Structure 1
Amino acid sequence: MPTATNGDVELYYETAGSGPTVAFVEPAGYGAWCWSWLVDALAGPVETLVWDLRGTGRSDVPSGPYDVATLAADLEAVLAEHGTRTVHLVGAGLGGMVALQHAREYGRAATLALLGTTADGSRVDADALRGLQAPRDDPDRLRDSLRGAFSPGVVEGHPDAVDRIVDWRAKDDADPDGWAAQIAATTDFAMADLYEVTTPALVIHGRADAVVPVEAGRDLAADLPRGTFEGIDAGHLVATEEPTVVADTLSGQLDEHADLDG
């Protein structure tokens, strides 16, 4: 089981495939399961790296609250331990904030893909974000809470996929302390100097996102020097709801900026 450490915090990660490294950073509270379908859709000439944020899954759960700068340092520890020199970062929600912070502070990011995120935590609907949390031992509440993560009708229309997600959440989501710490990191984040983030940045946002309004995604893309915006008919977990559409969009970015031929 590969792990990295940042101070006294142990962080679990895993990789698959070979080629340019695409690292995924999940939203607040959720385990790396939320990337499962997107990783499968991107399978091919890339190496995928998924990891559990502190407070989540198999990583340690130090006391909170957390902040985005610390989580970005955790990501740097994972990439350094793995020997990654250049990375293409894909982050959702809190993970997008971590990707932004990492790109500004460290020299590894070749591209950014920012899903359902904002550089201003005050634009996050904190009540909607807290509504995504549910006890890991209560399948009914885990299922019900997904209604706030997807666009209307998805939970009812895809019962088999939702049952699988409920099982994953029971194993891999953050515990209550981890959720609280990661929510605090999300709502407290603010990055005013976006002009310093010159990495090519693709901002992907669900038009039905109930946690981060789509206007915040458009503003983020406009404020980044090399930002572009792509709206998709989906909710907050856009990569879980529409993995093929997101994968096609990301593939265009990778075709332009990654050496997929070795």
Structure 2
Amino acid sequence: MPTARNGAVGIEYAVHGEGPTVVCCGVAGLGAWQWSYLVTPLAREHEVVVFDYRGTGNSDTPDGPYTVRDLTADLDAVLADHGARSVHLLGAGLGGVVAVEYARRAGRPESLGLLGTPTAPSDVDFDALARLRAPRDDPEAIERSLAVAFAPGTVEAHPDEIRRIVEWRATDDADRTGWDGQLAAMREAELTDLYEVTTPSLVFHGVEDAIVDPEAGRRLAEHLPRGEGRAVESGHLVHVEQPQVVADELLAWLDERRA
């Protein structure tokens, strides 16, 4: 897989499909596996770029703490290395903050898809987010940690998929330095002056999100000048729990933008 360079930091990314470019920015601490269920439907009509934050997967792990500015610079390095001139950004959790801030500072994004995105640290239950973190060498702890990521009953209802996610997390998630660094960025992630972000935006939020207050999604859609909101029957990881719902809504919305 290709590696972009942001100074001394290497950021690994993967490319799937062909067509207009969608770039995925993920939830803090979780690896690129989180996009596995969404890439397939999106890549039928789009080129989908998925990258690992610094401290995650095979990307480099510099000492932290990290900032949102660090992560937006990593995103910029990926786009420059890939040669993408115009993109749709799809961001989940911390990745939604990165996407909004990148749209504020750069001219590349044509539109934004935002999932479970906080507008300020006060929107985040950091105790709940801490429960999502688990030692990568402890499969039982990883499985227990997933309860906070999904709507109640989801883990019990899908044991085969949960086992697959546990295996992915054991190899792909951030190590201790990466988690600490990304959580530091999350703690300072405050979206202010949203009236400046005139990029068309579609905001998804799980109605049973235990990590980011579902009201944050409503406020975000309301305060973005060209924002639209979609409530989804899921927990925090909307793109993992309800990928087809997200894909259907997003693809229809993107088609409307192009029309």
State the TM-score, normalizing by the size of structure 1. Answer: 0.97
Could you tell me which residue of structure 1 aligns to residue 62 of structure 2? 62
Q: CA deviation at 1:100?
A: 0.6
Q: Distance in 1 between matches of 2:133 and 2:78?
A: 26
Gaps of 5+ in 1: none
Could you tell me which residue of structure 1 aligns to residue 233 of structure 2? 233
Q: CA deviation at 1:128?
A: 0.7
Q: Distance in 2 between matches of 1:146 and 1:228?
A: 29
Q: CA deviation at 1:43?
A: 2.5
- Would you say 1:99 and 2:99 are equivalent positions? yes
Output one character per residue of 1:144-175: Cα deviation in whole Å (capped at 9) or x when no partner.
Answer: 00000000011111000000000000010001
List aligned pairs for 1:10-89, cutoff 5 A: 10-89=10-89
Q: Does structure 2 conserve the Cα–Cα contact (< 8 Å) formed by 1:42 and 1:251?
A: yes
Q: CA deviation at 1:122?
A: 2.1
Could you tell me which residue of structure 2 aligns to residue 153 of structure 1? 153
Matched to 2:56, the amino acid is: T
List aligned pairs for 1:159-238, cutoff 5 A: 159-238=159-238
Q: Distance in 2 between matches of 1:95 and 1:213?
A: 16
Q: Distance in 2 between matches of 1:66 and 1:258?
A: 36
Output one character per residue of 1:182-216: Cα deviation in whole Å (capped at 9) or x when no partner.
Answer: 11111211121111110001000000000001101
Matched to 1:224, the amino acid is: L
Q: Distance in 2 between matches of 1:257 and 1:18?
A: 19
Secondary structure of the equivalent of 2:76?
A: helix
Secondary structure of the equivalent of 2:132?
A: coil
Output one character per residue of 1:72-130: Cα deviation in whole Å (capped at 9) or x when no partner.
Answer: 11101100110000000100000000001111111100010000012212211111111
Could you tell me which residue of structure 2 aligns to residue 252 of structure 1? 252
Q: Distance in 2 between matches of 1:254 and 1:201?
A: 10
Q: Distance in 2 between matches of 1:97 and 1:90?
A: 10
Calculate the aligned-residue CA RMSD, in Å: 0.9
Output one character per residue of 1:25-79: Cα deviation in whole Å (capped at 9) or x when no partner.
Answer: 1100000101101111223121000000001001001111111111011101100
- Would you say 1:122 and 2:122 are equivalent positions? yes
State the TM-score, normalizing by the size of structure 2. Answer: 0.98
Q: CA deviation at 1:254?
A: 1.5
Q: Distance in 1 between matches of 2:60 and 2:192?
A: 30
Matched to 1:93, the amino acid is: G
Secondary structure of the equivalent of 1:179?
A: helix
Q: Does structure 2 conserve the Cα–Cα contact (< 8 Å) formed by 1:122 and 1:188?
A: no
Secondary structure of the equivalent of 1:131?
A: helix
- Would you say 1:242 and 2:242 are equivalent positions? yes
Q: Distance in 2 between matches of 1:100 and 1:53?
A: 16
Q: CA deviation at 1:257?
A: 2.4
Q: Does structure 1 conserve the Cα–Cα contact (< 8 Å) formed by 2:22 and 2:89?
A: yes
Q: Does structure 2 conserve the Cα–Cα contact (< 8 Å) formed by 1:125 and 1:211?
A: yes
Secondary structure of the equivalent of 2:202?
A: strand
Q: Does structure 1 conserve the Cα–Cα contact (< 8 Å) formed by 2:21 and 2:84?
A: yes
Secondary structure of the equivalent of 2:141?
A: helix
Q: Does structure 1 conserve the Cα–Cα contact (< 8 Å) formed by 2:16 and 2:39?
A: no
Could you tell me which residue of structure 2 aligns to residue 134 of structure 1? 134
Q: Does structure 1 conserve the Cα–Cα contact (< 8 Å) formed by 2:87 and 2:111?
A: yes
Matched to 1:29, the amino acid is: G
Identity among equivalent positions (%) equals 57
Q: Distance in 1 between matches of 2:101 and 2:69?
A: 7
Q: Does structure 1 conserve the Cα–Cα contact (< 8 Å) formed by 2:18 and 2:43?
A: no
- The count of aligned residue pairs is 259
Q: Does structure 2 conserve the Cα–Cα contact (< 8 Å) formed by 1:17 and 1:45?
A: yes
